[in-house]
Every structure is written in structure tokens, then in C-alpha cells.
Structure 1
Amino acid sequence: MNAALFPPLDGLGRLLPQAARRWPRRIALVTDERTLTFEELDQLASRVAHALSARGVRPGDRVALLSQNRWEWIVAYHGALRCGAVVNPLNVMLTGAELDYILGDSGAKVLLASGERLRAVGAALGSVPGLEQVISFDDADEPAATSFASLLASADAEPFEPVPVDPGSAACIAYTSGTTGHPKGAMQSHRSLVLNCAYTATMHVRTPEDVVVTALPSAHVYGNVVLNSTWMAGGRVVLMTRFDPEDAIRRIEQHGATMFEGVPAMYATMLATPALAGADLSTLTRSTVGGQTIAESVIESWETRTGAPLIELWGMTELSGLGSTHALYAPNVHGSIGVALPGNELRVVSTEDGVTECRPGEPGELVARGPLVTLGYYHDDAATAEAITPDGWLRTGDVATHDGAGRFFVVDRLKDMILTAGYNVYPAEIERVLIGHAGVALVAVGREPDEVKGEVAHAYVVPAPGSAPDAEELTGYCRQHLAAYKVPRAIHFVDQLPTTSSGKLMRRMLRRPDAAH
């Protein structure tokens, strides 16, 4: 590679210009509305950079993005980075009050959003201090909004040279959803974003021949890494607006996908849909799964059906994406999140003192250190000090074990642990058992208060199509595979489970069918 033409990336703002020089006519992105080559993506991002600069956006200013997956979000993201702005990707499930807080806390100067989201939360925008402009990806039916189409039409068509950035400075402020209090803005550096995408592309052996189908939200770190790591290698992304199991299977067939990437619930629902029976998935060479723990039975079923490995990974917002995964040609140990990404460290330490390293197989808290770790929480020194030790270890909040050979195994989230009669019960362990029953399509386990035991586990089950399991049958199945104290006290049958915008199960939102709302 010619170093003069392709210098090392100091930030993702240079990714599309380099990709456009190498693969100008190669298709980069397929959405419901448009198919774009690398050259076209680059030109659109350049126009966005010109338009934002002309409207007063300067290096370091915050630019917020709010919409479902669409090509406009992608070019706005890259255009904002290109002109030196700090991107604030927003979860589409935010309420007006949450949006008001995050935009105010981040000091966002510009918001680019879909017309749908503006109609839903637009009333909150008038009270956001410092928010100067609102731009709608759709027709500007909001009085204060400018249309994205007119923004592009009026922008300079000349290439916009990316603003030089300090790789160690903030490129993105991504707000994490908290169970209590306000969300915290994790500052991701240019270096951490570039390295995460580069290491992911390397570990999964992405190439220009790859076609990746995904419905992961672009605003989520997992979705972001899928997009940009694929483009680093010159591959194509087929981006779904929202996940639908039948549609995902159809797109894998239609586009000859070599990869599918998603969260556990996506694989469980695709395996349960009747559309899978006659589908040709033979073009898949590997898939990836992250976001939550996944049952080995689901991995085995997907690998049997596709004839290709399903690679587990683990990550978090505070790491700009992945923290660990399996290399494609390394042993794919089911149930393991793999090894630390190059140049980064993972450890399992005692939950009591947070320092003592645990022996192989002994559960403790997973901690991470290295260039991927967040710069800290924006305007929240106390939260930063609580999360990151003085010597740089990030407390992840995940309970994990290691095997002494570099591989790690996530047990569950520390905050989701159920303390029943003095025993630690992890919901993920129960979920992994129940999803192995033929009559279960999806399952989530939450806690319920108990006068005698303090807390007990309740399971919420979506039956598989054509199945009608009963609670006694599933309880008996659990007793075959779990210690007595881990067996759920009750099993509730539901039509659907609450999920985040990325498809992860939201255990804290589980509600008994007979509970008052």
C-alpha cells in the first residue's frame, strides 16, 4: 500500500476518503432507500461537512444524531467527524425528557433527526440551551427544522479535506442507559474508534468480498463497529432499518451475505421462524453475536443450519465497541467471549476487593485496560473515578471467569444477579437452559421480591411457533439441568419481551402478566 495515498487513520473522518480512493465503484452500503458506492458515500459525507461548517460548526462542537438506521444517518456521522465535530449518537427509544437532558448535558449545537423522531420528541427541543439548529432527514414538517435534502443541495460539491485531529481527543460522546439517575456520556477517542474497528476487521478476517447483513442500530457501538470495520476492508453492508427475522433471512439469501451480525435474540427468533426451513444460507462464512450472553444450544443450532461458525464477542460503550472476540481461525470455544483485542488487557478480579485476580474458573468482575478504554464520563468526574481505577482498569460490571489460557467467559451482569436465600443466582444461566427446550423461542429471567428468600427468579417465556409448553413441563426441565435454588419460582408465558433499540433483552422491564401497571 502506498503510504502517501493511504496514511494511517487518525480518526474515522478519514475512513471514507481512503476507501473511495481504493474502491470508488465498489458498493459500500445497501439500504431500503438507496444503494451507494464508496465514492458516493464519500461525496455525500463531504457535502455534509461543508454544510455543517458553513452553518458554524467548528472542531470540538457537538453534533447529535437521532434516527433509525438509514443512509442519511451514516453520511451525517462521517460528515460531522470530517469537519472535526464530536458526534453524539442518540438512542431512538429516548423520551422527550431524556433527550432534553442528554442534548443539554452534551452541549449539542446541531441535531440531525428523522421526521418521525422529531414529531415524537420535538416539543422537548425548545428548552435545550445551546441547540442552535435542527435538521430533519425527512421533509421539514417541523417549523424550526431544515430539511436534510436542502442542506445537501446547497452544500459545496468540492471534496472537504478532513480536519486534522488529535487521536487521543474525543470523537464521540455516547450516553449509556442507567437503571437509576441520569445516563452518563462515555467519551470515546478517535484512537479507540479506529483501533476497535481495525482490530475487529482483523480478528474476523473481513475482506472486500464480504457482504454483511445487519440490523444493529448505527448509533450503538456494536452496530458502529460492524459498519466501519467492514468498510475498512472494502466490504459491503446491507443495513436493515429494523430487525425482522423473516426479512433478515430473505436478505441473506437475496444478497448472498457472507456474514450476519446481531444479538442473541435475533438468532433465537430466526431459528424459530418457519421461513428458515427452505432458506438458502450457504453463502454465510461466519456470523457474530454480542450484546448479551447466548445459550450454547442456540450457537450449535445456528452453526448446524448455516454450516459456518457463530463467533461470540463482548464489548461495551466504554470500550468504543468490542473488548474481546475469537479470531476466525482460532478455536471457537462455545460459551466463551474469546480473547482480549490486541494491545488491550482483560482480567477477572475479586468482587470483594476489586484487585485480587481470580483463579481459573472462579467468578469475579471483568476489568479492562488499554487504548480502547473511555476517556471518562463527560462532566462527571465522580462517575469516572468510580468506573476507572487510578492505574487505568475499567470496571465493567460483568461477572466472568477465565480458563487460564487467555479466554474469558461472561456469567452475567453483576447488577442482574438475584440473591435468593443467600445464594447467587444469575438470570443468564437459567435463560441458557430454558432456550434449549424445543418449546421456547425466547426467554428472559427477572427478580421478584420474596418474604422468605428475599428475591426469587421468575422466567418470562415466548413459546416457539406451534408449541404450547406448560409451566410444570418447563420447571421440570429446569430441575434436570439446574441446582434446586436456581430453578425459577414461576414461569410466565408472554407474546413478546421488552428489548432495547439494539435488540438486547431488558430484564428490569419484565412485568408479570397479572401485575398492575
Structure 2
Amino acid sequence: MGDVLRRAAGLGPADPLLRTVTAADEAGWTAAELLADAERVAAGLLARHDPGSRIATCLVNGPEAVLLQLGVALAGMVLVPVNPRSRPPELEHALRLSGAAAIYAAEDAAGNPAADVAEELRDGLPALTEVHRCTGDWRALLAGRPAQLPTVAPDALAQIQFTSGTTGRAKGVLITHAGMVATSHAFRERIGLPEGGVWINPMPLFHTAGNVLGTMGALWQRAEHVVVAFEPARVLALLAERRATLLSAAPTLLDLLMTRPEIQDADLSSLQVVFTGGQTVRPGFVDRVESVFGAPLITTFGMTETCGSALLSAPTDPDEVRRTTVGRPLAGTDVRIASPDGTPAVPGEPGELWVRGARLTPGYHQDPVATAEAIDREGWLHTGDLAVMDATGACRIVGRLKDMIKTGGENVSPEEVEEAVAGHPSVARTAVVGTPSERWGELVVAFVVPSAGADVDPVELERHCRDRLSPFKVPRAWRIVDDLPMTASTKIQRAELRRMAAADPELHPAGGPARP
């Protein structure tokens, strides 16, 4: 990753390469300045930690998140970016499993006192020797004196990112330098724009969409990377002020932008590409985005396990490809639509989407069982998504084998939410499913069987869950039922619960998808 930054600085030292915009401050870096500051961050880290150390961050989008991502990489250490809205049990799990030696945490992350939480957890985490409180003063990171930086191998571990899977607690996905570099380069090549430009990136930097496709993709592009926390009015203003050429935003964020009255007067004429991913989009949504923003919408299929992207449509693709598919495999990616026996499906027939290649994770941190379940002996990652591939290699996602819920571009494990809900004394049994939503992709719905003699209060259950789960994991709808549908082997019939949720008129008025 450091080589990509050095390349950008060498080709155009005075080119604008980074701009960060927060409610309190705005700052900009040329390519040479960004390299110099990232090297100072690396030197400061090396004065206190050995190469290979795990350095956690719990930050909103801003200068500290970018400088630490690049500084940790240059120092040959491993970044552990954690959602800044994580609740204490989630943050504790990430810090303990990763063995983080230090954490840089925001004092106020969208109302979450992440730094205070980290301080409270510190005594119970022997590996955690440092808690740094981040207030937005990024210059505090530049305390390191010049130092000899280590040589970092391409296959060295770069990050451990935590993602909810289909079962249990979040798993630590291992991400290498080579995977990040290959994916961001292929992403930039597929977009096909001339070098330079301005990329507006409100995608969270604790995810691959933000820090691989965004931070690293912009370095390859040598674009001015404008990092901003998502706030609709501010993003719309930046699109015009910076003469943006690319906007990166999840479907949920695009939908919110399009509902703002300010968009009617926003100057979007510089936009050449709008990029999205994280959930399935429908043709009508693509048409709406392209009409409002005046630029082609390109869509990716990716996972944390694939560094954020494995397939991607292109701005020059025919309308039908952009409107109905997630495009074709990126360079260096093999894709198979697998029949139940694992053999390739006939073109046009649905099957499970398998991927392999340079961008693929080596596995899950300290979890060989989960790794073996996800990646077979031939190196294929079994995504759990059902897809159809046409004769040109373009893929359309048609469903999902796994029970994982995708809401607002985030993965939610039903079992993790069920564990939190079941911890309330009024709950005897519970099951959690997703139901389609035009805005969010899916809504999290909880079916609850009350304990004997108990009155279930959804408001109290929501408050209970918010103390234990990130906000996006908290059920948006509660349904109190006498019993849960079960199979003969006493397994919950999630398909039946999804059918019940889909037929619920409160969730889907007039038969349409839920749109809260």
C-alpha cells in the first residue's frame, strides 16, 4: 500500500490528493504532503510498537482515519478498523480477538463516546497498552521523528476487518496488502476515467468500500480524495464546490440524497460516474439515480472477504447490464456459478456465486473452522448468494442461500441479534429475519415469543438492544407471536418468517417494498 502512495507522490508531488471535511474543520494535502505526514505517523508508531502490531481505530470519517490507515501500512503494522458506533461488547470482541496493542478512538462518534468505552475496557484487555483519544486534531499524530521504515511484503497482513457472517459474532477477516492493491487498481481500471479528477467519498473508512475502493482507488487514480462523513446537505454542497467527477455512496445514501430539496438546485454537471454497492439495486432505482445525477451508475458485488469488490459494471456498459447486473469479474478474479454439486451451472441457470483470486482473504483470524466452511480446498469462496451469469460474463444476483441480512449496506447476523433480544427477561424465544426494503435493502424484523406471564414492550426491547448492538443491527420492526414455525428437526423455519414479514401490510403497504 505504501508503494501506491509513493507512486502518486512521485508522479505529481504538487497534485491535490486528499481533502477532509468535517463539521469543525477542512484540510487538504498535496501528494508530497500526504506522503510526508503518513511517514511521520508511521515513525511515531514504530517508536512504540513493533512491525506486525495490531493498531485499532474507532473513528468517523476524517483526517485521522486516513492518516492512520496509511501510517499503519507504512509501518508494517496491521490496522483493525472498528465501527465507531459499536457497543461495548462489540468493541471488546474486536479488540480481544485481534490482540490490538493500541486504539485511536473518537471522543464523540455520532453520539457514541468510543474513547470512554475503550478506556473502560482497557483493564480487561492485557494486550491493549494504549488508548488515544481523538478529537479531530490530526496534527497530534505527527509526533514521530524521521525513521527507517520497514520493507513490507506484498502478502503481509494489512488489516483485520470485522464483519457479521451467517452465524454468531463478527469474524475478523484477514486482508493483505496485495489484496487491497490489486482490488483498488482493478476498480480504478474498470471505471476507466482519465487520471486526476475529484472523488467524493462519504462511505465509512472502517469498511473496504471506504478504505480500499475509496482511499486506495483514489491513490491509483491520483484523484483528489474528498473524505466526509455522510450528511446529505454537506455531500451535495461538496459535489458542486469541488467539481466532483465521482461519487461513491451506498444505495441507502443515494436514496437519502435524492430526497433532499437541495438537490434540485445542486450543480452536478461535473459528475462522470456514480458508484454504489452493498445491496441489490433494481432497474428503476438505476434509472432514477442516472436521471437525478446525470451520470451512469455502476454497481459492484463485493464482500469484506474480497476487499470490497469482485464484480463491477462499467460506465460504458450497455443500459441493460448497468440496470440489471453487478457487472463482470474484475481482473484477477475467477467466478463460478455453481450447481448444487459444485459444477458450473449452465449459462442462464441460477447457482451459488463462487469467487477466487488475488483479492480473496486468506481466511478468518483465529477461526480455521469458519475459514474452511467459507473457502474450499480449491480456493473458492462460497458467497452464499444466488446468481445468474449471461454469455458475456455479467452476473445478476437473484437471491441468497444464507440467512445473513443486508441492511443499508451492512451485514447483520440474525444469531447475533437473537442473542441480544433473548437476553431480555420478557422474551422466551425469538427469531430474526430480513424483509425487503426499497431504501435499506432489507429491514431487520424480530419475531418474539413472550415468557410466561410477561408483557412484551417493543420500546423496552429496542432500548435493551441499543445498549448491546450497533444501531443498524437493532430490529426496525417487532412482531409478538405465540410460537415460531419449526421444522420436524426443531429448526426455525426462517423462510416462513420471511414470508410472514413480506406479507405484513405495515411493513409493505399496498404490496410494495417497505420504505420507512
1:31 is paired with a residue whose SS is strand
Q: Distance in 1 between matches of 2:354 and 2:55?
A: 31
- Deviation (angstroms), 1:179: 5.3
AA aligned opposite 1:349:
A
> Identity over the aligned pairs, expressed in percent?
31
Q: Distance in 1 between matches of 2:344 and 2:6?
A: 44
Q: How does 1:199-278 map to 2 (within 5 A)?
A: 199-224=186-211, 225-241=213-229, 243-278=230-265
Matched, 1:42 2:24: no
Q: How does 1:96-495 map to 2 (within 5 A)?
A: 96-116=88-108, 117-138=114-135, 149-152=139-142, 154-156=143-145, 158=146, 160=147, 162-178=149-165, 180-224=167-211, 225-241=213-229, 243-332=230-319, 333=321, 334-350=323-339, 352-353=340-341, 355-416=342-403, 431=437, 435=438, 444-445=442-443, 454-455=496-497, 456-458=499-501, 474-475=509-510, 478=512, 494=516
- Deviation (angstroms), 1:448: 6.9
Matched, 1:22 2:15: no
Aligned pair in 2 of structure 1 residues 443, 280: CA closer, same or farther (>3 Å)?
Answer: same
- Deviation (angstroms), 1:77: 1.2
Say which of 41, 63, 67 aligns to 2:59: 67
Is the Cα–Cα contact under 8 Å of residues 303 and 310 in structure 1 kept in the other structure?
yes
Q: Distance in 2 between matches of 1:101 and 1:387?
A: 21
Q: 57-66 or 213-222: which moved more?
A: 57-66
Say which of 50, 56, 77 aligns to 1:58: 50
Is the Cα–Cα contact under 8 Å of residues 269 and 442 in structure 1 kept in the other structure?
no
AA aligned opposite 1:196:
T
Q: Distance in 1 between matches of 2:502 and 2:260?
A: 22
Q: Distance in 2 between matches of 1:343 and 1:118?
A: 40
Q: Distance in 1 between matches of 2:500 and 2:28?
A: 47
- Deviation (angstroms), 1:200: 0.7
2:160 is paired with a residue whose SS is strand
1:29 is paired with a residue whose SS is strand
Deviations 1:49-92 (A, max 9, x none): 1111111x222111111100111111111111111111111111
AA aligned opposite 2:71:
G
Q: Distance in 2 between matches of 1:473 and 1:193?
A: 39
2:6 is paired with a residue whose SS is helix
1:251 is paired with a residue whose SS is helix
Q: Distance in 2 between matches of 1:19 and 1:300?
A: 35
Q: Distance in 1 between matches of 2:367 and 2:72?
A: 24
Q: Distance in 2 between matches of 1:189 and 1:387?
A: 18
Per the normalisation by structure 2, the TM-score is: 0.77
Deviations 1:432-456 (A, max 9, x none): xxx4xxxxx6674566767699322
Q: Distance in 2 between matches of 1:169 and 1:151?
A: 24
Aligned residues: 432
Aligned pair in 2 of structure 1 residues 473, 51: CA closer, same or farther (>3 Å)?
Answer: closer
Q: Distance in 2 between matches of 1:67 and 1:28?
A: 21
Is the Cα–Cα contact under 8 Å of residues 82 and 161 in structure 1 kept in the other structure?
no
Aligned pair in 2 of structure 1 residues 42, 361: CA closer, same or farther (>3 Å)?
Answer: same
Is the Cα–Cα contact under 8 Å of residues 206 and 235 in structure 1 kept in the other structure?
no
Is the Cα–Cα contact under 8 Å of residues 297 and 315 in structure 2 kept in the other structure?
no
1:382 is paired with a residue whose SS is helix
Q: Distance in 2 between matches of 1:204 and 1:37?
A: 23
Q: Which position in structure 2 is the counterpart of 1:508?
A: none
Q: Distance in 2 between matches of 1:411 and 1:417?
A: 15
Is the Cα–Cα contact under 8 Å of residues 310 and 330 in structure 2 kept in the other structure?
yes
AA aligned opposite 2:284:
S
Q: Which position in structure 2 is the counterpart of 1:421?
A: none
Is the Cα–Cα contact under 8 Å of residues 20 and 39 in structure 1 kept in the other structure?
yes
> RMSD over aligned Cα, in angstroms?
2.7
Say which of 84, 93, 101 aligns to 2:85: 93
